[in-house]
Amino acid sequence: MTISSQPYGTLPDEREVRLYTLTNNNGLSAEVTNYGAILVSLSTPDNEGKMDDIVLGKDSLEDYLAGHPYFGSTCGRVAGRIGGARFEIEGKTYQLEPTEGQHGNSLHGGSEGFNSQLWNAEVITEDEVEKLRLRITDPDGHNGYPGTLNCSVTYSMLEDNSLQIEYQATCDQISPFNPTNHSYFNLRANGDILGHSIQIFADSVATVDENSTLIGRRDPVEAKYNDYRKPVCLGDLDKIEVGNGDIHFFLNQGRTALPKTAAIVKEPTTGRVMEVLTTEPGVQFYAGLFLSADGSEIGKAGVQHDTKHAFCLETQDYADSINFPEMGNAIIRPGETYNSTTIFRFSTEPTVT
Ligand code: BGC
């Protein structure tokens, strides 16, 4: 495993941004920029050894700065939605920016969330593995959140063909905290994802209202709808909508000390298989429902991304734990060190014809 880096451009305030390339001995590679701790590309082989970039993204820093739907982004402090963009801690009310104007929710940490911050980058060696460690200090009150938070996100491309992402954080006040990686995958590397089969090891989901607001309810998965405990080909579902294509799953294993399998995705024409392992107790499955249906979402090399052209598996806790503490623990407290690991592991199977 080696890590190289190159300039990636400058921010409007002149700060320099870099692009890091993490390559393992089998030729799998990941490009990560310290702007937003974004995973820019991820090349993995199909079952004939052909490498393809299987994540959506943009061609340049300028294109990311112009706006995008969290392609490859590190989301935080809170990935997902805090209802009404407000919460109370020890009698004090905190008002966040309602980024989803029409519903008044705060989504993915606010308009200056982790995904738009410049992270300090350092290549480190840990357990004989070279890793890219990205760090930020998120000041007290930034995006409305309490406490000064120190956070690191560490990427490594392991020799077992896993992209590993480790999170660590401390905070000097109680704060909601629920980071994730928002990569959009397409294991076929183009077109829609309807041929993908997906398996998620979860018996229950977090119910939402018509505005996708979490309502503090947990319901069992429903057969032929959002029951992915056995592999489901997405194209076999009658419809893909918020309740089965943009929904938080409570993983049966709960929070674990070591990463455990949360989901397995297979793409039969290329034979690509992706296993998602995590220490987190849940995962938001997002089938790219709101990728533009009008062709206005342009990705790399001018490609247009339509709805359901990629999926995300955003490992996390229940985003609105601060308002519904019985549903999860997406909260960091002084004196605690938050540790979390998610692994995207790649392999292939024979092509199904
Ligand atoms: C959310 C979607 C949202 C998407 C892009 C996902 O995590 O669940 O509702 O459209 O992120 O912001």
Task: Please say if the pLDDT value at position 293 is more than 90.
Answer: no
| Ligand 1 close to Cβ of residue 113 (< 6 A) | no
- Please work out, in degrees rounded to the nearest 5, the angle formed at the alpha carbon of residue 170 by the alpha carbons of 261 and 120: 90
The full set of domains in the chain, from first to last, is 2-348 (2.70.98.10)
Predicted local confidence at residue 14, as pLDDT: 97
pLDDT at residue 351 tops 90: no
314 lines ligand 1 (CB under 6 A): yes
| Three-state secondary-structure class, residue 199 | strand
Q: Please give the distance, rounded to the nearest whole angstrom, from the Cα atom of residue 287 to the centre of ligand 1.
A: 9
Report the pLDDT value the prediction gives residue 2, as an integer from 0 to 100.
95
Chain segment 3-16, per-residue pLDDT in tens? 999 999 999 999 99
Position 194 scores a pLDDT of 98
Atom number of ligand 1 nearest to Cα 289: 10
The pLDDT, as a whole number, for residue 294 is 66
Active-site position among 68, 108, 142, 182: 182
- What pLDDT sits at residue 317? 98
182 tagged catalytic:
yes
Of 22, 75, 37, 42, nearest in space to 274 by CA: 42
Summarize pLDDT for 174-199 with one digit per residue, the tens: 999 999 999 999 999 999 999 999 99
Average pLDDT, the chain: 96
What pLDDT, on the 0 to 100 scale, is given for residue 352?
67
Integer Cα distance of 266 and 197 in angstroms: 5
As a whole-number percent, the residues of the chain with pLDDT over 70 amount to 99
Query: Mind listing the pLDDT tens digit for each residue in 48-87?
Result: 999 999 999 999 999 999 999 999 999 999 999 999 999 9
Please write the tens of the pLDDT for every residue from 204-254.
Answer: 999 999 999 999 999 999 999 999 999 999 999 999 999 999 999 999 999
- 108 annotated active-site: no
User: Is the pLDDT score of 296 beyond 90?
Assistant: no
Tell me the C-alpha distance between 348 and 266, whole Å.
9
How far is the C-alpha of 353 from the C-alpha of 349, rounded, in Å?
A: 12
Using only C-alpha atoms, what is the Rg of the chain?
19
Alpha-carbon distance of 265 to 275, in angstroms, equals 6
134: confidence class by pLDDT, cuts 50, 70, 90: very high
Residue 103 has pLDDT above 80, yes or no: no
Tokens linked to 40: 């820019």
